Amino acid sequence: MMNLTHLRVLEAVARHGSVTEAARELHYSQPSISHHLGRLESSIGARLIQRVGRGIRLTPEGEVLAQRAREIVGRVEAASAEMAAHVGLRAGRVRVAGFQTVLSTIVPKAAAELAASYPGIELNLVDVHPVEGLRMLRAGHVDLALVFRHADTPDEEEGFRLTHLLDDPLYLISREPGQRLEDHRDSAWVGGCERCRATMVAACRRAGFTPRIAYSSDDMVVVQTLVAAGMGVATLPGLALQAHRTPGVHATEIPGHARHIYAATYGEPPDPPATTALLDILRAIT
């Protein structure tokens, strides 16, 4: 029969791709890791690990079970934190996944308020793209994910609960004030990665042209510095401009283009008390 120890071992081996690294993380010996994997394979009647040269890889059955193990282990850890929190908000933990601009603007204010109001709550933060943040939330590795959506963003999978915090306008970043997207149909543009530049490209296409992306960076400081140096123009959300503003650039709001910022939780309510406390603070300061 499968047990939690076996699943923890499989999850660690799958994540590290190494028995040695899994043993180090779990403070087990390598023979002990192999023993647990062998017991798990016997209990389900399928081979989970294959030797490949000096390394290992998961079988298809191992891949399936490892994914479920990640979810199960994550939810057990979340439940443990929730039970600990029920002792009272004198102690507890809330794990948050967020993206760069929200972590550098809204979250520090919320963290300071949380520490002042509930000094016993431990706050853990991880900087990831919203897509990855939702994956971590579903798997139970975080308790709350700060994400953004656009008007045309597809609905998320069932189980997520979104609390709207604020709308974040999009701005044209250039060296001259009061300009429009159309003024730069022939200009060089600074764009982010394929996923991050989608909003900029969509705004330009709505204005009747496709931007010529000459430079690529997801760093708001680099983007503004390139614009200030006359290398091109760009778009940035308002939170990025709150986090950092380079001298010599002007920001002009682009009407009709804003991203919607949400705090996402997962599963049926109620949320753990520590998560609810942070969520209440986020709502209050935005």
Distance CA 270, CA 280 (A): 13
Strand 55-58 and strand 144-149: the pairing is: unpaired
Q: Could you please state the CATH topology (level 3) that the domain comprising 81-166+261-285 is classified under.
A: D-Maltodextrin-Binding Protein; domain 2 (3.40.190)
Identify the CA nearest to 124 among candidates 81, 83, 88.
81
Strand-pairing partners, residue 191, are 216
Q: Greatest CA span in the chain, whole angstroms?
A: 69
pLDDT digits (tens, 9 = 90+) for 111-135: 999 999 888 889 999 999 999 999 9
Identify the weakest region by mean pLDDT among 54-58, 179-183, 231-235.
54-58
Q: Where in the chain is the domain with CATH 3.40.190.10?
A: 81-166+261-285, 168-257
Domain 168-257 -> CATH class: alpha beta
Long-range contacts of 79-82 (CB under 8 A, 24+ apart): 81/143, 81/272, 81/274, 82/272, 82/273
- Per DSSP, the residues of the chain read ---HHHHHHHHHHHHHT-HHHHHHHHT--HHHHHHHHHHHHHHHTS--EEEETTEEEE-HHHHHHHHHHHHHHHHHHHHHHHHHHTT-TTSEEEEEEE-HHHHTTHHHHHHHHHHHH-TTEEEEEEE--HHHHHHHHHHTS-SEEEEEE-TTPPPPPTTEEEEEEEEEEEEEEESSTT--GGGGTTSEEEE--TTTTHHHHHHHHHTT---EEEEE---HHHHHHHHHTTS-BEEEEHHHHHH---TT-EEEEEEEEEEEEEEEEESSSPPPHHHHHHHHHHHHH-
At 132 the pLDDT is 94
Q: What's the average model confidence in pLDDT over 189-212?
A: 90
pLDDT at 234 over 60: yes
At 81 the pLDDT is 65
Q: Where in the chain is the domain with CATH 1.10.10.10?
A: 4-72
Look up the CATH architecture of domain 4-72: Orthogonal Bundle (1.10)
**Hunting for tokens 């760009």 — which residue is that?**
234
Q: Which amino acid is at 157?
A: E
Q: What's the average model confidence in pLDDT over 202-207?
A: 93
65 contacts 37 by C-beta, under 8 angstroms: no
pLDDT at 248 over 70: yes
* pLDDT > 90 in the chain, percent: 53
pLDDT at 182 over 80: yes
pLDDT digits (tens, 9 = 90+) for 50-109: 888 777 888 899 899 889 988 888 888 777 766 655 555 666 789 999 999 999 999 999
Q: Which amino acid is at 275?
A: T
Note the pTM of the prediction, 2 decimals: 0.68
247 contacts 173 by C-beta, under 8 angstroms: no
